[in-house]
Structures are given as C-alpha cells and as structure tokens.
Amino acid sequence: MVRRRRQGRTDTTEDLGLPVRDLVDQHLLLTPTTVPVEQVHTLLRARIPDSDLLHGGEARLGRHSRITGPWELSMEDAVDAAVPMPWTVCYVLTCPVEREGPPFPGLDDRDGFASAFPDGLPWREEGRALQLLVAIARRTAGAVRTAGSLQLIQPDPTRAVDHAVHAPFWLQPDVLLGVVTRVLPDSHLDVQGSTWRGPSREAYTGELIGEHGLTGEQLAALHARADAEDLEVMSGPLTRDGYAVVGSLGADGWLEVGVRAGEPDLPSVVGQEWARNPFVTYSIRWVCPDPRDRESRNPSPVFRQARGRASRAAAAVAGAVVEATGGLVTDEDGFWLDRYQL
C-alpha cells in the first residue's frame, strides 16, 4: 500500500487502501517533491472554488470524478505502478472512462493527448479532469501518467503565454490604448462592429411568434412596447460592450488585448467582493505568425525564442493593465498569478 505524504514526510498511519499495482489503471498527477500540497490545493481552488484538498486529502472535480493525495511512492512502488523515475509523489484521479473517436492520423497537439490516447480521446468528465491535471502539471513542472497506455504527458511550462486580468473597472478604449502603448509603442485600437438595420420582416408580420397564438391586440401591444424600448435605447448615449487593442511584436506576431464583460460565475473570481457586481475581463492573447506552431509538441528553436519574447511582453502588458484597473491576474489555464511577480 502507498502512504499519504504530509509536509514532506510519510504518514505511516494512513494508506491508500489500494494495491500499488492497481494504480496502473488510474490517471496519476506527478509532482516534484519540492511542490507542497498547499500549492496544488490553491491551483484547484482557482478552478473549483469549493474544493479542499489540503484538509480532506480529497477534492471532487465533477459529479463522478475526484482526486486524492498526495501519496508517496517508494522506488518499488513506482516500478509496480508504472511510474517512471524520478517521480515519487502522486495524486490519484478516479473518474469514469469516457472516450470519443480516435485522433486523426498524424494529429499533433501541444500536450500529447493524441499520442497518449491513440484509440480514443478522453472527453466529457474524464476529458475535463485530465485537462485540469495537465494544467496543474504545467504550472508545477510536473507530469501526468495516463492509465491504459501508461504514457507520460509532461507539458511544457513555457507554453502558457496568454494572460487574463479580471477587474472591477472598465477602461475606455483610448485609456487602455495609452496603457498598452507604454509597453508596446506600436499599438492601435481594433474596434469592429456592424450596423443594426432593425428587426426582420418576419418579426413585424408575426411569423416568428405566430405559433404562440397571440391575438391581434396582443401582437400590437407587444410591438408598441418593443418600439418604446428601441426609442429609449436609441436616444441614449452610444455604448460599447467590447473592443480590442492590438500591439505589434514585429516578426513575432502581435498581442491582442480583448475587453469584454466578465463571466458572472467565473471560478477564479469567486470570493472577490467586486465580483458580486458586473466586472470586466481583459484577455491578453498572443497571435503568432503561424498558429500551427503553438499546437506542436516539438516546435523549432526559432519559435521557442519568439514565444519567450512574446511571453515577456504579455506579462508586461498584463502587469500594466492590472495596475490600471485593480483586480487579479490569471494565466491561460485560469490559475492565479502574483501581479508583483509578472
């Protein structure tokens, strides 16, 4: 039996209650010995706010999936569990097996799911749980040992370039442009939209709602209320519910700072007082010259250098935006980042 790991020690009074060889049939999150359970607990809380791995040793990821740990493996345990060296600390994922069709021949994905699951890619609850474990592995420089194929998914921590700033304040386009320009001088507003030409003919003839059986008087009253609301909106000031600022990175592509209303139930902002009201999300996204490069598991050295420069620029822009708006910063996996360490 493997033993629960607490504060870097083996607690010999608790065991997993599962033969080590049975771990071959479970997905395992592997972390370096230097990663404390508190860090994994915090990462889980950013995605699943009511989880409590730290105190219970178990966190529910979905209706039928949970993760337990940390568990410490001896060298003999690791061999029996098909865990490659030097990994000795693991978290066990229990979830239903849910697979879709096999990946297309020759498909390459940045984390290696196609290689690890050649007979069928995980989806639904198993897919979501595995994606979360791989995201944690990316943040902690860990790995995921998959069940079945026993392949190791070891995501590249430097792949996470994009950021998001969730904040209580909306910056007007010209103000945000000034903030981004301080980091990327060659930036411009990217404001696109379309002219609304009014309801369709079917809306006025009643064809769209005729199946509900409205009388002529009810239909006339409905149109009157709609006309009154249209006049009220059109007589007010012009409002904008989203826009973007684009900054050039030269040959490395560009950064796009998209601005939109935040999602009310976003896990990473749960508990923030300002998130009880409508808030704003500023998405800092790197657009590289060839998007296929970002999906490659083995990109070229030239691309890796470009990604490094883009990552530093994205962090600088995220830092400037959060200083101007307040709020918090997350990486592209939705995990919190320290704004003072960007």
Residue-wise pLDDT for 127-170, tens only, equals: 999 999 999 999 999 999 999 889 999 999 999 999 999 999 99
Q: Same domain for 229 and 276?
A: no
301 within a domain of the structure (yes/no): yes
Q: Same domain for 285 and 315?
A: yes
Q: Same domain for 46 and 133?
A: yes
Q: Same domain for 29 and 102?
A: yes
Residue 137: φ, ψ to 5°: -60, -40
Q: Same domain for 117 and 10?
A: yes
Q: Same domain for 54 and 106?
A: yes
Q: Same domain for 185 and 93?
A: no
Sequence-distant (6+) residues with CB within 8 A of 142 are 29, 30, 31, 32, 35, 136, 154
pLDDT score for 13: 35
Q: Same domain for 283 and 248?
A: yes
pLDDT score for 192: 61
Residues of the chain with pLDDT under 70: 1-3, 5-18, 192-216, 219, 230-240
Number of compact structural domains in the chain: 3
315 within a domain of the structure (yes/no): yes
Task: Work out the percent of the chain whose per-residue pLDDT is above 90.
Answer: 64
Q: Same domain for 47 and 140?
A: yes
pLDDT digits (tens, 9 = 90+) for 187-239: 999 876 555 555 666 555 555 555 555 666 776 777 777 777 766 655 555 55
Q: Same domain for 248 and 228?
A: no
Q: Same domain for 18 and 87?
A: yes
Domain residues for 251? 163-191+240-341
129 within a domain of the structure (yes/no): yes
pLDDT score for 10: 42
Q: Same domain for 75 and 187?
A: no
Name the helix (H) or strand (E) containing 337: strand 336-337
